[in-house]
């Protein structure tokens, strides 16, 4: 169906009423320092609410809807919208208000050729906020198409601190000294580790069904449909196998053999494509081995889920996997996770270290507990040898709820509970 002025006017007016009624939880993103931003993240991570946050801020400052234009390109009323219709949007707003707006364009990757319009807006000095659920929007090619005018912003599900603030759970030093407050805090910590931080799931009494529906939408729509995958069941098997392998490097070749044993012949190129598609949709985040040769840096990697809740619904009894996944996400939030991801690595050479950040010379192990002597020896031993391999100013073992300091010839290895790690990083 062709997009008409009447449809656009109705959509614009309906959106204004909806945005005014939303309960907005302000997130710690700087929305005022640059007029051209691209927000990218997994479905339901809160990208749209950042747009709503900015619009509500403008309304509170005395601006009206004549100063803003919001469209969600997942709105079914906009089915059939093409790149040729973008200028019609501006014409409708001009006819309605006679003013030049700031534009808020949600899930714009659904429209082929959107880059040309976005570049044109930048050239004409519009202020524009864009969201998308595809990491290709952060690729060098896309940013080149946009003329380097837009600043990319990665949007993750709630951090632990945001989660606690959203649920109004105190987490300052004084409250953690109180038995009752500490118990409330630890209960929230346990729930966050299992169910993650997708904003709309946080206050749901039963989260599994919601998370399952989000996961289905990601793998069926954002991955299978977008990439014309004819066998989505195979894709589901692949993502489940990667979930089982969170703590270990896994190769395309091994994934190919595993899937071929249960689903018929599955080629290595097919596996590579499916993994890349899952990364594009922000379901999986790749971690490369800093010690690998170039040829293996892409084909043998570790993978993490974008949210612990989406990992929980894949498997049973995975406390150790959830801990390492949470630590990985905390590092990606702090240091970023672009397609090249040249800031956070793992190390697998003469020793094994879960995470290494070269710019801060930070080495991190994730271990649910060090109570077992063999586990303690393995984790401490790796960090005791690692400074012989790479520069290392800080060495940390993140556990579920154990704390200690271990001294060796290179200094101190910090043993930190994950809740404390998540609050500080």
DSSP conformation letters of 32-86 = SS-SEEEEE-STTSSHHHHHHHHHHHHHHTT--GGGEEEEETT-GGGTT--GGGH
pLDDT by residue (tens digit) across 226-271?
Answer: 899 999 999 999 999 999 999 999 999 999 999 999 989 999 999 9
Indicate whether 309 belongs to any domain. Answer: no
DSSP type of residue 218: I
pLDDT of residue 340: 67
pLDDT of residue 366: 98
Residues 201 and 195: beta-carbon distance below 8 Å = yes
The residues near 201 (Cβ < 8 Å, ≥ 6 apart) are 44, 195, 207, 210, 211, 214, 309
CATH number of the domain enclosing 237? 1.10.10.10
The verdict on 279 and 147 lying in the same domain is: no
The verdict on 35 and 172 lying in the same domain is: no
Indicate whether 406 belongs to any domain. Answer: yes
The verdict on 137 and 178 lying in the same domain is: no
Q: How confident is the model at residue 141 (pLDDT cuts 50, 70, 90)?
A: low
pLDDT of residue 35: 94
DSSP type of residue 175: G
Flag whether pLDDT at 287 surpasses 80: yes
Q: How confident is the model at residue 135 (pLDDT cuts 50, 70, 90)?
A: confident
pLDDT by residue (tens digit) across 370-414?
Answer: 999 999 999 999 999 999 999 999 999 999 999 999 999 999 999
Rounded to 5 degrees, what angle do the CA atoms 130, 133, 136 make? 90
Task: Quote the percentage of the chain above a pLDDT of 70.
Answer: 98
**Torsion of Cα atoms, 114 then 116 then 122 then 125, to 10°:** -100
pLDDT by residue (tens digit) across 308-366?
Answer: 999 999 999 999 999 999 999 999 999 988 666 679 999 999 899 999 999 999 999 99
The rounded distance, in Å, linking the Cα atoms of 28 and 245 is 32
pLDDT of residue 334: 95
The verdict on 270 and 323 lying in the same domain is: no
Indicate whether 311 belongs to any domain. Answer: no
The verdict on 138 and 45 lying in the same domain is: yes
Q: How confident is the model at residue 139 (pLDDT cuts 50, 70, 90)?
A: low
The verdict on 46 and 28 lying in the same domain is: yes
pLDDT of residue 243: 97
Enclosing domain of residue 29: 5-154
pLDDT of residue 296: 86
Q: How confident is the model at residue 6 (pLDDT cuts 50, 70, 90)?
A: very high
CATH number of the domain enclosing 62? 3.40.50.300
Indicate whether 312 belongs to any domain. Answer: no
pLDDT of residue 220: 93
Indicate whether 310 belongs to any domain. Answer: no
The domain tally of the chain equals: 4
Indicate whether 129 belongs to any domain. Answer: yes
The verdict on 30 and 134 lying in the same domain is: yes
Mean pLDDT of 100-108: 96
pLDDT of residue 359: 95
pLDDT by residue (tens digit) across 188-219?
Answer: 999 999 999 999 999 999 999 999 999 999 99
Phi-psi region of 334 (alpha: psi -120 to 50; beta: other; left: phi over 0): alpha
How does the average pLDDT of the chain come out, rounded? 94
The residues near 328 (Cβ < 8 Å, ≥ 6 apart) are 285, 287, 304, 355, 366
The verdict on 184 and 211 lying in the same domain is: no
pLDDT of residue 65: 98
The SS3 of residue 331 is helix
pLDDT of residue 330: 98
The rounded distance, in Å, linking the Cα atoms of 145 and 280 is 18
Q: How confident is the model at residue 140 (pLDDT cuts 50, 70, 90)?
A: low
pLDDT by residue (tens digit) across 297-310?
Answer: 889 999 999 999 99
Q: Which is nearest to 202 in space by CA: 309, 283, 282?
A: 309
Indicate whether 12 belongs to any domain. Answer: yes
| Choice between 381 and 221, residue whose per-residue pLDDT is larger | 381
Q: Among the three residues 254, 277, 304, which one is the final residue of a domain in this structure?
A: 304
Q: Among the three residues 256, 271, 304, which one is the final residue of a domain in this structure?
A: 304
Other C-beta atoms within 10 Å of 178: how many? 12
Q: Which two tokens stand for residue 80?
A: 């059939």
pLDDT of residue 149: 87
pLDDT by residue (tens digit) across 48-68?
Answer: 999 999 999 999 999 999 999
The verdict on 191 and 218 lying in the same domain is: no
The verdict on 148 and 104 lying in the same domain is: yes
The rounded distance, in Å, linking the Cα atoms of 279 and 276 is 5
The residues near 152 (Cβ < 8 Å, ≥ 6 apart) are 37, 38, 40, 137, 138, 143, 338
| Choice between 358 and 142, residue whose per-residue pLDDT is larger | 358
The verdict on 15 and 147 lying in the same domain is: yes
The SS3 of residue 143 is helix
The verdict on 10 and 147 lying in the same domain is: yes
Indicate whether 365 belongs to any domain. Answer: yes
């Amino acid at each position: 169906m062709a997009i008409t002025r009447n449809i656009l006017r109705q959509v614009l007016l309906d959106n204004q009423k909806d945005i005014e009624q939303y309960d907005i939880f302000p997130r710690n993103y700087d929305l005022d320092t640059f007029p051209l931003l691209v927000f990218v993240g997994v479905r339901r991570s809160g990208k749209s609410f950042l747009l709503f946050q900015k619009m509500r801020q403008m309304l509170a400052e005395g601006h009206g809807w004549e100063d803003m234009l919001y469209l969600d390109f997942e709105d079914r009323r906009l089915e059939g919208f093409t790149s040729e219709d973008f200028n019609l949007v501006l014409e409708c707003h001009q006819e309605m208000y006679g003013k030049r707006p700031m534009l808020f364009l949600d899930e714009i990757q659904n429209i082929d050729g959107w880059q040309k319009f976005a570049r044109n807006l930048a050239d004409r000095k519009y202020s524009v906020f864009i969201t998308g659920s595809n990491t290709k929007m952060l690729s060098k090619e896309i940013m080149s198409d946009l003329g380097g005018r837009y600043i990319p912003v990665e949007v993750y599900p709630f951090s632990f601190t945001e989660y606690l603030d959203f649920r109004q759970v105190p987490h300052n030093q004084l409250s953690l000294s109180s038995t009752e407050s500490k118990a409330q805090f630890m209960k929230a910590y346990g729930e966050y580790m299992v169910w993650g931080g997708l904003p709309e799931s946080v206050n749901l009494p039963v989260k599994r069904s919601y998370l399952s529906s989000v996961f289905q939408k990601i793998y069926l729509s954002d991955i299978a449909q977008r990439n014309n995958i004819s066998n989505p069941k195979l894709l589901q098997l692949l993502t489940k196998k990667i979930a089982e392998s969170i703590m270990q490097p896994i190769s395309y070749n091994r994934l190919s053999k595993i899937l071929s044993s249960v689903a018929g012949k599955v080629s290595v190129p097919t596996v590579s494509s499916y993994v890349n598609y899952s990364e594009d949709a922000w379901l999986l985040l790749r971690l490369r081995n800093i010690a690998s040769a170039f040829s293996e840096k892409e084909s043998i990697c570790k993978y993490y889920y974008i949210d612990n809740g989406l990992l929980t619904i894949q498997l049973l009894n995975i406390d150790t996997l959830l801990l390492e996944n949470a630590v990985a996400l905390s590092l990606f939030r702090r240091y970023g996770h672009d397609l090249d991801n040249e800031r956070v690595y793992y190390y697998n050479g003469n020793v094994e270290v879960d995470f290494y950040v070269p710019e801060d010379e930070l080495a991190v192990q994730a271990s649910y507990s060090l109570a077992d002597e063999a586990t303690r020896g393995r984790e401490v031993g790796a960090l005791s040898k690692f400074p012989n391999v790479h520069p290392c100013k800080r060495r940390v073992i993140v556990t579920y709820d154990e704390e200690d300091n271990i001294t060796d010839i290179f200094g101190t290895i910090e043993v930190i509970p994950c809740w404390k790690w998540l609050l500080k990083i």
